Amino acid sequence: MGAGRDGRGARGAHAVRKIWWVDEPEHQHQPDQPGEPERPADPEPQEGVGIPDAFERLWTPHRMAYILGENKPRGDGPRDGCPFCDIPHRSDEDGLVVTRGKVAFAVLNLYPYNPGHLMVCPYRHVADYTELTDEETDEVALLTKQAMRAVRAASGAQGFNVGLNQGPVAGAGIAAHLHQHIVPRWAGDTNFMPVVGRTKVLPVLLRETRALLAQAWPTD
């Protein structure tokens, strides 16, 4: 589905680019007293999937999504707190699910490397790519392609990192449940912040990103 064929992708692209890539806020909230910055409202806990890493996330919207807890499973079984097994039982908004297929689904990463960082994984609790059924393999591939098209339509991504981390030694944080990463990339998206400050600037809330990508998700 082309971004401009029915106009939906074009609207999504404008909206997301406006949110994701604003260099400075249109106005700054001034503190009530000199030297006393305003305190933001209490953050809302956000559930989701992903594992914490060494980067701090700096959310530029005034109301931040502050993540509580480590969000790591207690063991390797499906009932050991595996977030990929838990998320499909939540609503799309609460679980950050962008789309659901028959045997696999696409979900936003709770700890994204870039805005729009998605993961595609089977519902079945399986660790290794070779353990997927033919149906699961086909749908994981289809959702991966659809994810790339949706992110391009919604944000004008210039490239992607797509891949699986198989096993802890390969960098898999939740190795017991297979998940494929789709990370959108833009020229200059890695600047001094992650190098010097171990901080990623993410100027849009996850729930807003989920809604925009769901709107831009192709139907074919």
DSSP SS3 for 130: helix
pLDDT at 98: 95
Q: Where are the domains of the chain?
A: 41-216
Count of CA atoms in the C-beta half-sphere (13 A) of 37 = 5
pLDDT at 149: 94
Instruction: Tell me the two tokens of residue 106.
Output: 């696409």
pLDDT at 202: 58
Phi, psi of 85 (to 5 degrees): -85, -30
**What does pLDDT average to in each consecutive run of 10 residues of the chain (220 residues)?**
41 43 40 47 59 55 37 63 91 94 94 88 96 98 96 90 89 88 84 48 70 84
pLDDT at 85: 94
How far apart are the C-alpha atoms of 43 and 46, rounded to whole Å? 9
DSSP SS3 for 15: helix
DSSP SS3 for 185: strand
Q: Tell me: is residue 109 an annotated ligand-binding position.
A: yes
Which overall architecture, per CATH, does domain 41-216 show?
Answer: 2-Layer Sandwich (3.30)
Q: Which residue has the tokens 């925009």?
A: 212
Residues designated catalytic: 179
Q: Taking the complete model, does pTM exceed 0.75, yes or no?
A: no
Phi-psi region of 190 (alpha: psi -120 to 50; beta: other; left: phi over 0): beta
**Using an 8 Å Cβ cutoff, are 46 and 205 in contact?**
no
Instruction: Tell me the two tokens of residue 15.
Output: 């909206």
Sequence-distant (≥ 6) Cβ neighbours of residue 138 within 8 angstroms? none
DSSP SS3 for 137: helix
Kindly state the helix (H) or strand (E) to which residue 11 belongs, with its residue range: helix 8-20
Listed residue (116, 118, 117) closest to 107, CA to CA: 118
Q: Tell me: is residue 27 an annotated ligand-binding position.
A: no
Instruction: Tell me the two tokens of residue 141.
Output: 């591939």
Side-by-side strand order, sheet with 97-100: 97-100, 104-108, 118-122, 180-185, 159-164
pLDDT at 67: 36
